[in-house]
Amino acid sequence: MAAPFDLNDDDVVAIIGTGAGGGVLANELAQKGVRVVALEAGARHEPQDFINDEWDSFGQLAWLDPRTTSGDWRVAKDFSGLPAWIVKSVGGTTQHWAGASLRFQDHEWKAATTYGTVQGASLLDWPIDAAEMDPWYTKAEDKLNVTRTGDRPGLPGNNNYLVFEAGAKALGYKDVHTGRMAINSDDKRDRPMCQQTGFCFQGCKWGAKWSAGYVDIPQGEATGNLEVRTQSHASRILHNAAGKVTGVEYFDTDGNLQMQKARIVCVAGNSFESPRLLLNSASSMFPDGLANSSGQVGRNYMRHMTGSVYAVFDKPVRMWRGTTMAGIIQDEARHDPSRGFVGGYELETLSLGLPFMAAFLDPGAWGREFTTALDHYQNMAGMWIVGEDMPQETNRVTLNHDVMDSYGLPVVNVHFDDHPNDIAMRNHAYKQGQAVYEAVGATRTFPTPPYPSTHNLGTNRMSENARDGVVNKWGQTHDIANLFVSDGSQFTTGAAENPTLTIVAIAIRQADHIAREMSGQKI
Amino acid sequence: MMSDTSSLKGLTRRQVLSRATSAGASFVIGAGFLAASNGAWAIETGVLRPETMATLVQMARDIYPHDQVADEYYVLAVKGYDTPEAAEGIETGIATLNAAARNKGHANYLSIGWERARVDILRGMEDGTFFQRIRGGLVTGLYNQKAVWPIFGYEGASFEQGGYIARGFNDINWL
């Protein structure tokens, strides 16, 4: 049930983006009686619309607007126009995500203090900590029905997990299980349980996996306090002479420029679009873009240290059957500098279908070294590596004025160079991942390079001091009291864990704060 | 047979082959068509010369060789280049490939007997736009053909069959 609000209604909260950050924030505010207009660049896709086909689904859901890349990361060479694999849809990338829902480890909120000085890294402690976040994590886990939290059982292990688990145990790893997943493990919840279909990345056709798109957004709409405008691309945030934001200019479904007035604006377009919007909103009062007095907007882009390990065995595995990422080894997530790097990493099961395996196993490779790997596709097992990468000021999202999108707006260039700590961690993880599979008889293993980024973090980072970042501990910009950032671009550091649960927990907490400040007439 | 085009319909295998000359080990080429040496399939060519199409198919197999995948799938993967828009670039690229083969003492690319010798020629042009265009196109042109998936054991969509919860998601028996 839509609640159409007037363009001139300057008492609404305007939220840009409806993913893990914006979609959750919109629902949480609507539940509290706050009236919300959410602008979503993508269209609505319900579970029945999703497609069990990798390339067709990619065409349906992926954010394919032009972007450019630079830096020494391999993605810039292999996928120069596609730095990220994220989603343009109501629900954002929660339509596509695997569902892995891990809390940060306590020390990861204080990376600068814990790791000490790391040359070339712009490490900073978060202005919040594990104790502060604990109740918000619990609310997030309850919202997402996260397995192995509360009274929720774990998912059963599929073939890919059983290989992974056997190898992990043979190596002596202890903290090995089918993950904490935002995928229902029994029918006692409001949505069906996992049917082991695979295709988690293509949108869950059962709705067993949580997505803001078909869970939070309809809940918010049912209150009458939330209006979602789809295919509405925000182009500029406007402000008044007092330096307060007053509304959002956007291109509507028909490509016409509109302006929604607002009391508060919350930016949640993921770590490329959020800084892009702030930078594209530059004015005579804010010549470097909104909320950018520190010069930090767009900086410290993080994408997690990632990679994959695939292995071929002499017998079938059929890794694609069942939940894509329900399997984890957490033993390497600890901070243990004796391994030659700071921070840690998780190993998580992962499978790709044949079409994506051909595209991502070793991009650009050809000939028999490559094709003999695919010949044994059904005998393959796979895992993903996700670890903490070092924030660097020069890893950065900037406007590329040489390339315009279909609205005539400059696109972003995404510059990323691996930090030596990232490389050391990746090499360690490749070695351990290959050892896991060799321990159960792999005949060949493949240390596979990172895919286009799915975890995009840190380009509007949270900081205690205004000079160090863009937002304070509530996600409120240091410079403009009624402008918030509500997505993963707030991340001060990345931690080793998949970020969605933390984005959701922060959004729930931010909604609480915004509603309180509004009722106290402080914003 | 993948593509019994109209002008070839009604012809017996013997009749098709009688109108053609052999090219390489796998193909026979006739006026406006290309066929398998064993008669398993045949396609008409439109704008591209049949010899060019045959060379392109061989090149595709040499880039992504899968011995269990029949030529017809490689033909399907590249036959989209047989258009007025694409033809000139393809003819030029294949001419360059044949020139490289002649420089190594061969009559043309298709006449080279050993895959290794053909691959050596491809390695010499792998950074060029023609090679990368063909290779890049094959990533989806070959591996995204649903008919190819079962050859690799890949099962494709599963939702319609109720997922794998009752169909072997954890049926591994050798661990």
Q: Are A468 and A337 in contact (CB under 8 A)?
A: no
pLDDT of residue B41: 86
Per-residue pLDDT for B18 more than 80?
Answer: no
Per-residue pLDDT for A214 more than 90?
Answer: yes
B127 touches chain A (CB under 8 A): no
- Domains: count for chain B: 1
For A160, nearest residue in chain B (alpha carbons): B170
B129 touches chain A (CB under 8 A): no
Task: Look at residue B174 and tell me if it is in a domain.
Answer: no
Q: Are A431 and A86 in contact (CB under 8 A)?
A: no
Chain A interface, mutation test: which of B129, B146, B159, B167, most A Cβ atoms within 10 Å? B159
Rounding to the nearest 10 degrees, give the CA dihedral for residues A447, A450, A454, A456: 130
Distance of residue B6 Cα from the nearest chain A Cα, in angstroms: 31
Of A206, A322, A366, the CB nearest to B63: A366
Distance of residue A204 Cα from the nearest chain B Cα, in angstroms: 9
Of A197, A353, A371, the CB nearest to B164: A197
Q: Which of A30-34, A102-106, A466-470, B42-46 has the lowest mean pLDDT?
A: B42-46
Residues of B in contact with A366 (CB under 8 A): 63-64, 126, 135
Q: Give contacts of B 29-68 with A, CB under 8 A.
A: 62-66, 68
- CA B22 – CA A305 distance, rounded (Å): 53
Judged by phi (left if over 0) then psi (alpha if -120 to 50, else beta), residue A101 lies in beta
A443 touches chain B (CB under 8 A): no
Q: Are A391 and A499 in contact (CB under 8 A)?
A: no
The residues, any chain, with a CB within 8 Å of residue A521's CB and separated by 6 or more, are: none
Of A158, A322, A366, the CB nearest to B64: A366
Task: Look at residue B36 and tell me if it is in a domain.
Answer: no
- pLDDT per residue over A288-321, tens digit each? 999 999 999 999 999 999 999 999 999 999 999 9
Task: Look at residue B112 and tell me if it is in a domain.
Answer: yes
pLDDT of residue A420: 98
Quote the ipTM score: 0.95
Mean of per-residue pLDDT scores for chain B: 90
Chain A with chain B: Cβ pairs closer than 8 A: 114
Distance of residue A158 Cα from the nearest chain B Cα, in angstroms: 5
Distance of residue A381 Cα from the nearest chain B Cα, in angstroms: 12
Q: Give contacts of A 473-492 with B, CB under 8 A.
A: none
Neighbours of B108 (CB within 10 A): 18
- pLDDT per residue over B43-84, tens digit each? 899 999 999 999 999 999 999 999 999 999 999 999 999 999
Task: Look at residue B75 and tell me if it is in a domain.
Answer: yes
Of B62, B139, B168, the CB nearest to A358: B139
Distance of residue A468 Cα from the nearest chain B Cα, in angstroms: 43
B157 touches chain A (CB under 8 A): yes
Contact B172 A316 (CB under 8 A): yes
Task: Look at residue B16 and tell me if it is in a domain.
Answer: no
- Quote the pTM value: 0.96
pLDDT of residue B5: 46
Per-residue pLDDT for A1 more than 80?
Answer: no
Contact A320 B155 (CB under 8 A): yes
Distance of residue B20 Cα from the nearest chain A Cα, in angstroms: 30
Q: Are A421 and A342 in contact (CB under 8 A)?
A: yes
Task: Look at residue B167 and tell me if it is in a domain.
Answer: no
pLDDT of residue A189: 86
Task: Look at residue B168 and tell me if it is in a domain.
Answer: no
pLDDT of residue B2: 46
pLDDT of residue B29: 86
β-pair type (A345-349, A380-387): antiparallel
Instruction: Please state, for a pLDDT cut of 70, what percent of chain A lies above it.
Output: 99
Q: Which of A69-83, A225-239, B1-15 has the lowest mean pLDDT?
A: B1-15
Q: Give contacts of A 139-178 with B, CB under 8 A.
A: 156-159, 162-163, 166
**Domain extent for B82:** 50-161
Task: Look at residue B115 and tell me if it is in a domain.
Answer: yes
The token pair at B30 is: 């006739």
Per-residue pLDDT for A212 more than 60?
Answer: yes
- CA A483 – CA A472 distance, rounded (Å): 11
Instruction: Put the strands of the sheet holding A13-16 in their side by side order.
Output: A226-229, A36-39, A13-16, A264-267, A483-485
Residues of A in contact with B69 (CB under 8 A): none
